[in-house]
Amino acid sequence: MSEHDSAQPGAVDSSAHELEFADEEDTGRLGTPTKDLGSACVIGVVAAAAMVMSLRLDVPGSIFTAPGLLPFLTSLSLLFMAVVLGVKSLQAGAGRNFSSATKTAAAAWIADVEDRRALLLVGIVIAYVILVGTISFNLRLPTPLFVFQLSSYEVISIFVVTLILRLFWKARLRRCFFVSLATIEVLAAIFRYGFAILMPESF
């Protein structure tokens, strides 16, 4: 029996694995250096933005009790990991075709229906955050039993959640509206009457 025949059937040539790229979590070998570099860029931008916003928070006491201390440290650790991931990706050859691979991935992502729906959802969420942070009012409507309060958060949230349910759940508009209305009003009532907080808290 030759050496080739004596090799175990399940044995795998280790030299072949050394030539292949394994992403950070080795998820079915679907990762590439280019994907890891793109992920590092996105994580780095988000971490840097979070660090800047955490530094802009007021510091009522010392730096050790600052509300932005934990977000800053968390963002700093994410930024460090993003830098490490980016350096490892560049060492694996991600910089050679990063531009063309990014354009190809973006074109394929836009061409997919589900990816376009995800992009639409991201746009709706961003618009929702801007609207909630920009528009502020609190209506008080007296009734024979109590004074009903209606805030801008509730109005905007009911509209946006109804829109999301209509687009992605695809139920009847009336059903989407009542589900949104019940969910938002219960949530707002819990914070308003249970915790004495008008959502969002900044209002």
Count other Cβ atoms within 10 Å, centred on residue 184: 21
Report the C-alpha gap between 153 and 15 in whole angstroms.
59
> What pLDDT, on a 0 to 100 scale, did the predictor assign at position 82?
92
Long-range contact pairs involving 157-162 (C-beta distance under 8 Å, separation at least 24): 157/128, 157/132, 157/184, 158/184, 160/124, 160/127, 160/128, 160/131
> What pLDDT, on a 0 to 100 scale, did the predictor assign at position 200?
61
Give domain limits for the chain.
12-109, 112-203
175/136: higher pLDDT: 175
Q: Which tens digits make up the pLDDT trace of 81-91?
A: 999 988 888 88
How far is C-alpha 185 from the geometric centre of its chain's CA atoms?
Answer: 25
End-to-end CA distance of the chain: 82
144/40: higher pLDDT: 40
Report the C-alpha gap between 77 and 55 in whole angstroms.
15
Report the C-alpha gap between 68 and 46 in whole angstroms.
15
Q: Which tens digits make up the pLDDT trace of 10-44?
A: 454 544 444 444 544 555 455 677 778 888 888 99
